[in-house]
Amino acid sequence: MGCLIQDPSLCLNDKYPLDKEEFLVQFHRVIYVTINELANMGNQTINLMDLNEFLKPYESQYNIYLDNNGDSYIDTITSITDVDNYESYYNQFRKMSCLREYKDNGFDIKEIYDVDKNENEQLQKLNEWSIEDIVNYFEKKQMDIRKKFFINSEIEEMICGDGFDELLNQFEKEPMIGAGLCSPMLNSLYRGWCKGHLLLRGAPSSMGKTTMGISDLCNVASLKVWDDDKNDFVDNPYYQGMGTYLHSEQRMREEIQPRFISSISHIPYNIILDGVFTKEQKERLSEAGRIMKQSNLKIMNYPTFTSNGIKEIIKSLALDGYEYITEDYIWNNFYIGAELKKMSGTAIREDMALLQFTSALKYAAEKNNVGVATMIQLNGNEKDALIVDESCLFGSKSVKTKIDNGSIYMQPRPKELKQVDELITKWNKTHNKIAFGERIEPNAVSHCFKARYSRYGMNIKIWHHVDNSIGRMTDMFATTWDNKPIDIPLLYIKTKGE
C-alpha cells in the first residue's frame, strides 16, 4: 500500500493485477479503492490532502479512514516501504491471497502455510513457493484423484448400426460440414473446419503461417468484416462461433492484435504498425477493434505450454463457449520434453515431444467438440521434393497420424509455374484480368497431404494468390501432385440457418 501511495501507476500496470476483495480489512480496502480511483484520474503521486479531499464526499468510508487514524497510517507505511521492492511485496501479498482463496474453497493449505505454527517460520517457508507452484500443487492433487477415479470414463462403446437410421436423418437435415476456411477449395477437401477435427498447416519460416491462421480464425469468429464493394463493415456471412488464438511468441497487444484488426478491416498490417493511417483509415481500424471486442475473440499467450496444460486450457475455453481454437504453433519449447521426461523417467526425443503435443491437441478437439487448427515449420526437404508431404514437416512426420487434415503452404517453385502457365492464363481470362493488363500469378500453393474425408485423392495442390498484408486468399485452381488440372469446387460455408 505504501508503494501504491508513492507510485499510483502501479495500480494500472497489467503486470500487477489486484482486486479490492483481496483486502480483508475494511480500512485497507477503503485506502486501496481511493488510490486506484486517483490513479485512474491521472494522479502521478498521492499525498494526504489528495486522500482526504477524495474521501470527504463518501461519509461512511471517510469515517472508517478517520476512525483508524488514516493520516498517521499513511505516513507510517510510506516511510517504511521502498517502491523498488514493490514486486517482492506484491508477490508475497498475492501468495497469501491465493492461499486464502484455496482455503475458502475447502482446500487444506497446511502443507504450504500452517496458521497454527510460528508465523515467521511459515513466512520463511512460503518464500520457497511461487504462485505457480501453489496452483500446480493443488492441481496435481486434483489430477491424482481424477486419474484414480475417472480414467475409465474416457472409454465409449456401441454396437455398429445401433441408431443408424436416426444418424441418416441427422445427416439429411445437416450434412457433416464444418466452418469455412479462407480457402474454399480446402473447404471442399476438408469438409470445412469441423468440430472435433485437428487441422495442420506446415510452412517455411516467414511464409505467413500466423497471418493465414489468424485469417482463418477471423473468417469463422468475427461478427463483421469489411466489404470492399460496399466500402463498409457488413455482417460476416461465414460466422460460426467464438474463437481463441493461442500463441507463445510475439507481444499480444502490439504485434498479434493488429493482425486481427488488419484481417477484418482490409487495412495492411504494416500501415497499422507504422502509424501512417489516414483519418478515414483510423476510424475504420477503431471500428474493427470494437467488432473484435463484440465478437469476444480471445488472444492468449502461453509460452510454457505443455500437453496436459493445453488440454486443460482448451477444456476451459470450451466450457466458456469458445468453439474454434488456433494454436500457433507446434514446436518443442523444452516444457513439453520436460513434462514427458517426468512421466517416463527418460530423456525424450524431439519427434516424440512433437507427436505428444499433436496428440494432446487432437484429444482436446474431440473431447470438447471444438475445431482446433495449428501450424508447424518445415525441414527444408520441400525445396527439392517431388511430392511435398509430411516428410517435409520439421521434427516429426508422424504428426500426420494425429491430424484430420493437413497441408504444406509454400511459394510455387519456378519449374511448377512453367508447368501450370496455361492454367494461370485460363484463370486470368475467366476473371477478366488480362483485358486490363494485370495478369495475376499464384504466389502460394497448398500441398494437401492429408484430407480424411476427401473424395479427390491424395496430394492435391491448391494454387492461391494471397495478399499477405491483410491475409486475404484467392483460390485460382487445383492440380494433382504432378500439376495436372483437377476440378475442385469452391465451397463457401455460410452461417448456420442462412
- Say how far apart CA 449 and CA 471 lie, in whole Å: 22
Residues 196 and 81 reside in one and the same domain? no
CA distances from 352 to 339, 348, 363, 395 (A): 12, 6, 16, 9
Domain boundary among 109, 128, 145: 109
Task: Say yes or no to pLDDT of 480 above 80.
Answer: yes
pTM of the complete model = 0.69
Using DSSP bridges, classify how beta strands 224-227 and 232-235 pair: parallel, antiparallel or unpaired.
Answer: antiparallel
> Is the pLDDT at 232 greater than 80, yes or no?
yes
Q: Quickly state the pLDDT bin for 147 (edges 50, 70, 90).
A: low
- Regarding whether 186 and 97 lie in a shared domain, the answer is no
Same-domain status, 233 and 98: no
d(CA 375, CA 203): 8
User: What pLDDT is attached to residue 237?
Assistant: 94
Residues 131, 494: Cα–Cα separation, whole Å: 45
281 within a domain of the structure (yes/no): yes
Instruction: Look at residue 337 and tell me whether its pLDDT is greater than 90.
Output: no
From 109, 132, 151, give the residue that closes a domain.
109
Question: How many CB atoms sit inside 10 A of residue 151's CB?
Answer: 9
Taking 90 as the threshold, does the pLDDT of residue 308 lie above it?
Answer: no
Residue pair 263/348 in contact (Cβ under 8 Å)? The answer is no
Q: For residue 251, is it within any domain?
A: yes
- 302 with 426, same domain: the answer is yes
- Higher confidence at residue 346 or residue 114? 114
Return the pLDDT at 326. Answer: 94
The torsion angles phi and psi of 122, rounded to 5 degrees, stand at -70, -35
Residues 325 and 470 in one domain: yes
pLDDT band at 156 (very low <50, low <70, confident <90, very high): low
Higher pLDDT, 325 or 162: 325
Mean pLDDT, to the nearest integer, of 133-156? 74
Model pLDDT, residue 84: 92
**Calpha distance 183→88 (Å, rounded):** 50
- Separation of CA 137 from chain center: 25
The domain boundary residue, chosen from 109, 130, 152: 109
Q: What is the pLDDT of residue 161?
A: 72
Confidence of residue 473 (pLDDT cuts 50, 70, 90): very high
* pLDDT grade for 255, boundaries at 50, 70 and 90: confident
**103 shares its domain with 183:** no
Q: Are 95 and 205 in the same domain?
A: no
pLDDT band, very low/low/confident/very high, at 396 (cuts 50, 70, 90):
confident
Residue 330's pLDDT band, with cuts at 50, 70 and 90, is: confident
The answer to the question of residue 140 being in a domain is: no
Confidence of residue 303 (pLDDT cuts 50, 70, 90): confident
- Domain span including residue 92: 2-109
Percent of the chain with pLDDT over 70: 91
Contact call for residues 424 and 441 (beta carbons, < 8 A): yes
pLDDT at 351: 73
Q: How confident is the model at residue 334 (pLDDT cuts 50, 70, 90)?
A: low
Average pLDDT over residues 199-221: 92
Claim to verify: residue 388 and residue 295 sit in the same structural domain? yes
CA angle 480, 494, 476 (to 5 degrees): 30
Q: Tell me if 142 is assigned to some domain.
A: no
Domains in the chain: how many in total? 2
To 5 degrees, how large is the angle CA 187–CA 193–CA 199? Answer: 100
Which residues partner with 233 through β-bridges?
A: 226
Could you tell me the pLDDT band of residue 67, with boundaries at 50, 70 and 90? very high
Average pLDDT of span 342-364: 76
117-126 long-range Cβ contacts below 8 angstroms, 24+ apart: 123/92, 126/92, 126/95, 126/96
Most confident of 124-138, 383-397, 405-419: 405-419
Mean pLDDT within 21-31 = 91
Same domain, 182 and 77: no
CATH of the domain at 411: 3.40.50.300
Which range is most confident: 42-46, 169-173, 215-219, 326-330? 215-219
Asked if residue 320 belongs to a domain, the reply is: yes
Q: How confident is the model at residue 145 (pLDDT cuts 50, 70, 90)?
A: confident
261-265, 331-335, 419-423, 474-478: range with lowest mean pLDDT? 331-335
pLDDT at 333: 59
Q: In this structure, are 86 and 213 located in the same domain? A: no
For 127-140, what is the mean pLDDT? 88
Judgement on whether residues 105 and 182 belong to the same structural domain of the protein: no
User: Is residue 154 over pLDDT 80?
Assistant: no
Q: What number of other Cβ atoms are within 10 A of residue 411's Cβ?
A: 15
SS (H, E, C) 288-330: HHHHHHHCCCEEEECCCCCHHHHHHHHHHHHHCCEEEEEEECC
Q: Is the residue at 13 inside a domain?
A: yes
Q: Which of 7-11, 303-307, 434-438 has the lowest mean pLDDT?
A: 434-438
Which residue would you say has higher pLDDT here, 115 or 492?
492
Instruction: Let me know if residue 355 belongs to a domain.
Output: yes
| Domain-located, residue 224 | yes
DSSP state, residue 459: S
pLDDT tens for 413-464 read 999 999 999 999 999 988 877 655 678 999 999 999 999 888 888 899 999 9
Tell me what the mean pLDDT of segment 352-367 comes to.
88
Per-residue pLDDT, 143: 77
Same domain flag for 92 and 217: no
pLDDT at 335: 58
